[in-house]
Structure 1
């Protein structure tokens, strides 16, 4: 991420999983969008970003 983007750039992860991409993006000054269809994964992402004190907005939609 550091080699392929600059501070302020957007990073997109369509398989958000555990939120690692978002946490790293925030630590490097990047903005990010994480997508995951698993409610369990979204719960993990919420916890991870909260623990890292990363401000995040979540948008959820039902199928």
Structure 2
């Protein structure tokens, strides 16, 4: 579950910095996200991602 939270935290950090996901990383992030959905299930993956998004900058999303 930690990887889904970390993806969410990274997305929030990029958003708050105004930095979109680099094109060169989109394939990797998409592949990792698809693997997490397959492993955790769509609902659990989305919930864990949201938990990571909600974490503050100083919080450990894991």
Same fold? TM cut 0.5: no
The TM-score range, normalised by the shorter chain, is 0.3 to 0.5
TM-score for both structures, normalised by structure 1: 0.34
Name the structure, 1 or 2, with higher relative contact order (CA <8 Å, separation 6+). Answer: 2
TM-score for both structures, normalised by structure 2: 0.34
Higher helix share: 2
